[in-house]
């Protein structure tokens, strides 16, 4: 089975410096999802995965949008921006703040576990579903994170960014991670093993050009944020050549579809280009014989294959 998923980090609106909007707003969820993304999903029969942050789940209007998405086949996962949930919550009000923490390093294993547990409970309370997929803010997950997820009944983690080393900015080094889904080893996050957590890494490959600096934007992601449609198509072809029945994991942020809410899409023209790239690549992936799946579906398929 050649499968692809589209995973969206779903957060409050920001500005071009990644500062949370002030006052806090959710245009990308309240209008972006139903008015911009949902028509695309309907056109291509896409079942997206929304990784939702604590601030989004605390907003009742956002919850209603997400409930409608669940009815349309979307999956809801947890997205821990650790500053905005107890214990040791850093900000009582998210307005105007910057989320800069790598959750796996900012707190002890116990505190990180409790934060994930509280976010899980919040999603269950507000949306009446139990989340089974997880992505850490800033891809800040380590082996202890995955063990916490296993204890809490999760099935899938999607925090891993192959080839990318975040240690220069205080994060984990995911550079040796496999590029395809694997059940995690109990002693090594980057090896296959016997844990019940399936790691579904974000689709990332080598640098766009060999001489580029060792920064995340230098690498080729299946992400319309900074990649051209041509580059993403070539990435799809690379994975088809390198793996039998590959799994592709596209990601972007909800705020990237609204002008001025991130550094990447600042104008309506850039918004148009972003959405054009997104649709072009979806069409290409489908043309190449991939089936759209949620992370839960990929977990079930992988479990059956094992």
**Where does the pLDDT of residue 67 fall: very low under 50, low under 70, confident under 90, or very high at 90 and above?**
very high
Distance of CA 41 to the CA centre of its chain: 17
Confidence (pLDDT) at 47? 98
State how far the Cα of 26 lies from the Cα of 31, in Å rounded to an integer: 8
- Average model confidence (pLDDT) across the chain: 97
Q: What are the structure tokens assigned to 173, written together? A: 């080094």
Q: Is the dihedral of CA 179, 181, 187, 193 positive or negative?
A: negative
Residue 66: per-residue pLDDT? 98
User: What is the predicted pLDDT for the residue at 22?
Assistant: 96
Rounded CA separation 143/38 (Å): 35
25 vs 59: CA distance, rounded Å: 10
159 and 139 in contact (C-beta within 8 Å)?
Answer: yes
| Overall average pLDDT of the 270-274 stretch | 98
Whether 69 has a pLDDT exceeding 80, the answer reads yes
pLDDT value at 92 more than 80? yes
Does residue 306 register a pLDDT over 80?
A: no
Report the pLDDT averaged over residues 81-102: 97
pTM greater than 0.85 (yes/no): yes
Summarised one tens digit per residue, pLDDT across range 99-118 is: 999 999 999 999 999 999 99
The secondary structure element, H or E, covering residue 6 is: strand 3-10
Instruction: Provide the 10 A C-beta neighbour count for residue 273.
Output: 15
Can you give the C-alpha Rg of the chain in angstroms? Answer: 18
Percentage of residues in the chain with pLDDT exceeding 90?
99
| pLDDT for position 144 | 98
Q: Which of 196, 195, 160, 165 is nearest to 180 (CA)?
A: 160
**Is the pLDDT at 28 greater than 80, yes or no?**
yes
Confidence of residue 282 (pLDDT cuts 50, 70, 90): very high
Structure-block tokens of residue 163: 């080839």
Give the DSSP per-residue string, 252-263: EEGGGGSTTSSS
Indicate whether 248 pLDDT > 90: yes
**CATH homologous superfamily for the domain 3-305:** Glycoside hydrolase/deacetylase (3.20.20.370)
Give residue limits of the domains in the chain: 3-305
Q: pLDDT (tens digit, 9 = 90+) per residue, 195-247?
A: 999 999 999 999 999 999 999 999 999 999 999 999 999 999 999 999 999 99
Peptide bond just before 198 cis, omega within 30 deg:
no
Please, what's the b/e burial string for 22-53 (b: 16 or more CB within 10 A of its CB; e: otherwise)?
Answer: eebbbbbbbebbeebbbebbeeeebbbbbbbb
């Amino acid at each position: 089975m050649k499968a692809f998923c589209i995973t969206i980090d779903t957060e409050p609106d920001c500005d071009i410096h990644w500062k949370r909007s002030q006052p806090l707003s959710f245009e990308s969820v309240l209008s972006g999802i139903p008015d911009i993304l949902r028509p695309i999903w309907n056109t291509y029969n896409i079942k997206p995965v929304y990784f939702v942050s604590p601030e989004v789940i605390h907003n009742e209007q956002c919850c209603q949008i997400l409930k409608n998405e669940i009815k349309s086949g979307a999956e809801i996962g947890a997205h821990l921006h650790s500053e905005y949930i107890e214990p040791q919550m850093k900000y009582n009000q998210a307005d105007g703040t910057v989320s800069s923490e790598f959750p796996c390093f900012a707190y002890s294993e116990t505190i990180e576990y409790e934060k994930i547990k509280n976010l899980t409970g919040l999603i269950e309370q507000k949306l009446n579903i139990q989340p089974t997929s997880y992505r850490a803010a800033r891809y800040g997950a380590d082996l202890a994170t995955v063990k916490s997820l296993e204890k809490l009944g999760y099935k899938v983690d999607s925090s891993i960014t192959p080839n990318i080393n975040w240690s220069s900015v205080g994060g984990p080094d995911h550079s040796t991670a496999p590029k395809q889904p694997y059940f995690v080893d109990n002693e090594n996050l980057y090896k296959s093993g016997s844990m019940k957590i399936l790691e579904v890494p974000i689709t990332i490959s080598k640098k766009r050009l060999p001489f580029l600096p060792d920064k995340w934007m230098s690498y080729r992601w299946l992400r319309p944020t900074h990649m051209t449609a041509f580059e993403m198509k070539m990435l799809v072809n690379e994975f088809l050549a390198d793996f039998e029945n590959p799994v592709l994991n596209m990601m972007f942020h909800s705020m990237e579809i609204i002008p001025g809410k991130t550094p990447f899409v600042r104008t309506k023209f850039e918004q148009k280009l972003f959405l054009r790239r997104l649709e072009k690549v979806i069409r290409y992936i489908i043309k190449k014989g991939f089936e759209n799946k949620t992370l839960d579906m990929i977990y079930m398929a992988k479990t059956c294959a094992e």
